[in-house]
């Protein structure tokens, strides 16, 4: 049996080469991965917090790992429903938090290790959330160091991102690189495990469980399509010119300074040098120069644009690729073409490369031999409430004026 480091290094190499994986599920039989996962999460504050059962990290042993691996070999492992609680947010609202059972946390951490090794080399450099050696400070440092000359900011915040991810689209994205149906079925079972609220069972119709160890990497895989869309389509469309044109006023002052120095007029040369310090060397309103910058931290998106305000408004209004009201979609302006519920004009679009499922998760079809009235009459096990789709709050605000140089 290979060690955990060897397995993860092979996956990282395949990720760097963008090669698909066909035998990822069999890595869940590797005991070394479970021991590595246990070392990662046993010291967390929530390790001793019980989920739907009384199982915690306190009773962990190698026998339990062997039992989990035995269930994995027979494809009989099932995730238990998470116990849902609500924690306060800074704005006074409550955030739902799922507390899975200890075995679910352990298996979720193994899944996270495998997915992170495969997808981390493929993630965009503009993504800074839930990644090793990246965070808020690296995102702010990149903005401070490379976003020089930015005139307008377009800010986006995906509301209820974790709870609104479409399961079928997420599984479709995973299937592009993971060609292992057993592993994809395991991910589906994780997403469909449900939750207990006041000890009443509820189906999970969308989203990834908040509090799950694999949820951050799954959300990054999902939102990586947004990163690709911005970097491959939006940024090339709004990037023009190699450099800014020279500022005529600056060049004129520089020519007068040279003449004053040749004449030996020190007072005039000193005055012109001070004047040049107040002028930019390049033309800030150069019509042939455009730059669009992009950065994302988890579900917070920021675009920086060097150009006129009118084009910044266009960037905010058309991230979906098809103009609102287009006859091909049959939608009104400001409405997502894939859903009936309206969204703001600058909302983050549905992924254009993945067609929606023919039957939505909120309209579950009963199993063969299962009566429809039974699914509707069972308390807490019928159709749950329809969650709203992700919404964005966006603003266009002028950047602070650059310091005179």
Cβ contact 394:346 at 8 Å: yes
Share of the chain above pLDDT 70, in %: 79
Cα distance from N-terminal residue to C-terminal residue, the chain: 62
**pLDDT at residue number 223:** 95
Q: Hey, how many other C-beta atoms are within 10 angstroms of the C-beta on 18? A: 10
Give the closest residue to 164 by CA, choosing from 123, 88, 215.
215
Closest of 176, 172, 161, 177 to residue 219, by C-alpha: 161
Look up residue 124 and give its two tokens.
């965009």
pLDDT averaged over every residue in the chain: 81
Among 277, 292, 284, residue whose Cα is nearest residue 244: 284
Q: What is the pTM of this model?
A: 0.73
In the chain, what percentage of residues exceed pLDDT 90? 55
Helices (H), 17-101: 31-41, 62-73
> How far is Cα 299 from Cα 215, in angstroms, rounded to an integer?
13
Q: Which of 225, 121, 239 is nearest to 170 (CA)?
A: 225
Q: Say if residues 385 and 164 touch (Cβ distance below 8 Å).
A: no
Tokens of 199: 């000890």
Name beta bridge partners: 152.
305, 398
| Residue 114 pLDDT grade (very low, low, confident, very high; cuts 50, 70, 90) | very high
Place of tokens 């059972």: 101
The pLDDT of residue 384 is above 80: no
Q: Once rounded to an integer, what is the mean pLDDT over residues 302-318? A: 91
pLDDT of residue 159 exceeding 90: no
Using an 8 Å Cβ cutoff, are 195 and 238 in contact?
Answer: no
Question: Could you report the per-residue pLDDT of 222-277, keeping only the tens digit for each?
Answer: 999 999 999 999 999 999 998 889 999 999 999 999 999 999 999 999 999 999 99
Tokens of 60: 């962990």
- Residue 330 neighbours by CB distance under 10 Å: 9
Residue 375 has pLDDT above 80, yes or no: no
**CA dist., res. 272 & res. 275, Å (int):** 5
Vertex 311 angle, CA 309 and 314, to 5°: 115
Predicted local distance difference test score (pLDDT) of residue 22: 92
Q: Which of 101-110, 171-180, 307-316, 334-343 has the lowest mean pLDDT?
A: 334-343
pLDDT at 337 (0 to 100): 38
């Amino acid at each position: 049996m290979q060690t955990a480091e060897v397995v993860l290094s092979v996956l990282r190499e395949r990720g760097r080469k963008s090669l698909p994986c066909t035998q990822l599920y069999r890595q869940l039989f590797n005991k070394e991965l479970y021991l590595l996962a246990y070392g990662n999460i046993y010291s967390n504050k929530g390790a001793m917090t019980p989920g739907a059962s009384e199982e915690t990290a306190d009773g962990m042993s190698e026998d339990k790992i062997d039992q989990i691996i035995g269930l994995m070999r027979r494809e009989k492992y099932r995730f238990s429903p998470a116990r849902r609680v609500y924690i306060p947010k800074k704005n006074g609202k409550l955030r739902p938090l799922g507390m899975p059972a200890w075995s679910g946390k352990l298996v979720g951490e193994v899944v996270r290790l495998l997915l992170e090794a495969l997808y981390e080399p493929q993630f965009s450099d503009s993504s800074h959330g839930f990644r090793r050696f990246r965070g808020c400070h690296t995102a702010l440092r990149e903005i401070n160091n490379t976003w020089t000359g930015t005139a307008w900011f377009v800010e986006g915040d995906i509301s209820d991102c974790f709870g609104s991810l479409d399961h079928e689209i997420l599984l479709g994205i995973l299937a592009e690189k993971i060609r292992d149906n057993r592993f994809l079925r395991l991910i589906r079972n994780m997403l469909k495990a449900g939750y207990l609220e006041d000890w009443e069972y509820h189906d999970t119709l969308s989203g990834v469980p908040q509090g799950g160890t694999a949820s951050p990497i799954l959300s990054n895989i999902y939102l990586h399509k947004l990163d690709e869309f911005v970097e491959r389509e939006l940024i090339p469309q709004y990037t023009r010119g190699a450099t800014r044109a020279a500022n005529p006023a600056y060049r004129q002052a520089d020519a007068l300074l040279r003449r004053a120095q040749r004449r030996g007029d020190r007072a005039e040369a000193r005055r012109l040098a001070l004047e040049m310090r107040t002028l930019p060397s390049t033309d800030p309103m150069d019509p042939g120069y455009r730059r669009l910058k992009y950065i994302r931290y988890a579900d917070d998106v920021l675009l920086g644009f060097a150009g006129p305000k009118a084009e910044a408004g266009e960037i905010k209004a058309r991230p979906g690729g098809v103009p609102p009201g287009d006859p091909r979609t049959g939608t009104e302006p400001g409405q997502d073409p894939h859903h009936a519920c309206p969204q703001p004009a600058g909302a983050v679009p549905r992924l254009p490369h993945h067609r929606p499922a023919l039957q939505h998760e909120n309209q579950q079809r009963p199993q063969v031999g299962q009566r429809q009235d039974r699914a509707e009459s069972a308390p807490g096990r019928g159709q749950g409430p329809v969650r709203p789709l992700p919404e964005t709050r966006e603003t266009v605000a002028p950047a602070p004026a650059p310091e005179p140089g």
